[in-house]
Amino acid sequence: MTRMSQKLEITVRIKNDNGESIIQKTSEKEIPDIEEFDKQGFRTSFDQIERAFITGRKEVTDDAVSDYLEIISKKKLSKNTEKPTKQ
């Protein structure tokens, strides 16, 4: 098995109007370092890097979208269950 010592970190952050993070998702993947590039060759190493980017991006975007939609549905539900005030 190949030793990989570099880390790829992908972070997705959704902020509110005040600039505060309401959702933050991070994915960390291992990628080959320069020594592994030399040992494995370019194609194998590039494939590992590309796969790390693709899977990392998919993980954080899927999680962030899911959490964001959950927040929206809770807010929408709370608005719909509020009793109208008498004027």
Residue spans of the domains in the chain: they are 1-48
- List the structure tokens of 70: 């959950």
Question: Does position 29 have pLDDT exceeding 90, yes or no?
Answer: yes
Q: Whole-prediction pTM value?
A: 0.76
Between strands 6-15 and 21-31, the pairing is antiparallel
Question: Does position 83 have pLDDT exceeding 90, yes or no?
Answer: no
Phi, psi (rounded to 5 degrees) for 77: -65, -40
Say which residue the tokens 């809770």 belong to.
74
Give the per-residue pLDDT at 5: 77
pLDDT single digits (tens) 31-78: 999 899 889 999 999 999 999 999 999 999 999 999 999 999 998 888
